[in-house]
Amino acid sequence: MDSSLYPWFISQGVLAQLPKKQMQSTKFYKNLIAAFTSKGKLYGVPKDNSTLGLLINKDMFKKVGVDPKTIPTSYAGLIKWLPGFQAKLNKAYGKGKVTAMTYDQDMARNLAIMIAKGGKPVKNNGKANLASAQVVKNLGLYKKLVNTGAVATAKDLGSGDNGTAFGTGKVAMTEEGNWTYQVQKKQYKTNFEVLPMPTYQGKQRGMIFTVGWGENAESKNKKLDNAWIAYVTSKKEMSVWAKTVGVMPSRPDVAKAIKLTKDSNLDTWLKATNYSTVWQEGNTLTTINTSYQNFISDAMNVKMTIKQAMIKADKQANAAISNSK
């Protein structure tokens, strides 16, 4: 089950409690275990881990003569720095050929920023609260990025996703997850480096995506199920799995054992697990995100203010939610 669906499964009461000790819950990244824990009880075991990092195209930086070390580490710094960098890209590649950076219009990517400084996009009762003051203020970050003229979505550039835009040389920097690692290396042969996520309001913020094993509350053979989950998430089995499939493990000891930490790029992604937010927020998140995606582009394309767009998004999401009551 996906971390974002976990609260829904819990609300339906369909998950069985799992023995923490047998599952070696202390061996996992804390953030990940917390995502499958309710009221101190464990209901799921994370089987993998994906985080975001800032990918930069080293060849492009070389060509325009910018040292990657000079890239600001905060969004505030980036907003000042990006226009100059875009100008250099235009000079080297021609106007409109390479964009400096891409961003996303998806709550699954934006949530970490939205919740900064106590932002609360979802109320405790599950209702959407996207238009609340702090959330709107936080979303203003994206508008500032867009206004630099150096930031666009991958779709704006005619690509399906950030990884594609980055791999095909349409963008010099992008926030993307470790799943793009193999494809960038083998298919696109991009010469890239992964930097930690920029800081916003003094802190690094990113997202974590994970899938966990759960057990049906009505399972006839809980002992066997527990043994199975413990087995597939054990250090040995996860090492084999993570190595063959090429995903990041949910246990730091596995990451060490298969030497992921030795690769500086993968290590950056692994470290992001500690500062990032798990993609999870109550059991109405899918509905709210659908509504968010529906209206956010208008806010970014200067048709309306963020506040206006989010008021519309709230209204539509909450109407859908009350239909389920």
The footprint of other proteins (CB under 8 A) covers 5, 8, 12, 14, 50, 96, 106, 153, 155-161, 163-164, 167-169, 177, 179-180, 183, 187-189, 283-287, 290-291, 293-295, 297-298, 301, 303, 312, 316, 319-321, 323-324
Residue placing its CB nearer to other proteins in the complex, 24 or 290: 290
Give the nearer residue to other proteins in terms of CB position, either 81 or 292: 292
Q: How far is the CB of 297 from other proteins (least distance, A)?
A: 4
CB 274 within 8 A of CB 285: no
Least Cβ distance, residue 79 to other proteins (angstroms): 22
DSSP 186: I
- Report the nearest approach of other proteins to the CB of residue 323 (Å): 5
d(CA 73, CA 81): 11
- Which of 25, 284 has the CB closer to other proteins? 284
CA angle 175, 177, 181 (to 5 degrees): 110
Region label for 207, one of left (φ > 0), alpha (ψ between -120 and 50) or beta (otherwise) = beta
Cβ 281 to other proteins, closest distance in Å?
Answer: 12
Instruction: Provide the terminal-to-terminal Cα distance of the chain, rounded to the nearest Å.
Output: 24
Closer of 187 and 219 to other proteins (Cβ): 187
Q: How many residues does the chain have?
A: 325
Quote the CA–CA distance of 37 and 190 in Å, as a whole number: 39
Within 10 A of 163 (CB to CB), how many other CB atoms are there? Answer: 23
Q: Which is nearer to other proteins, 1 or 34 (CB)?
A: 1
Identify which of residues 191 and 294 has a Cβ nearer to other proteins in the complex.
Answer: 294
Q: What is the Cα 277 distance to its own chain's centre?
A: 8
Closest CB 290 distance from other proteins, rounded Å = 5
User: Minimum CB separation from other proteins for residue 16, in Å?
Assistant: 15
Nearer to other proteins, 14 or 87 (CB): 14
Q: Which of 39, 42, 8, 12 is nearest to 24 (CA)?
A: 42
- Rounded Cα–Cα distance for residues 193 and 179 (Å): 14
To other proteins, the closest distance from the beta carbon of 286 in angstroms equals: 5
Please state, in angstroms and rounded to a whole number, the distance separating the CA atoms of residues 188 and 176.
15
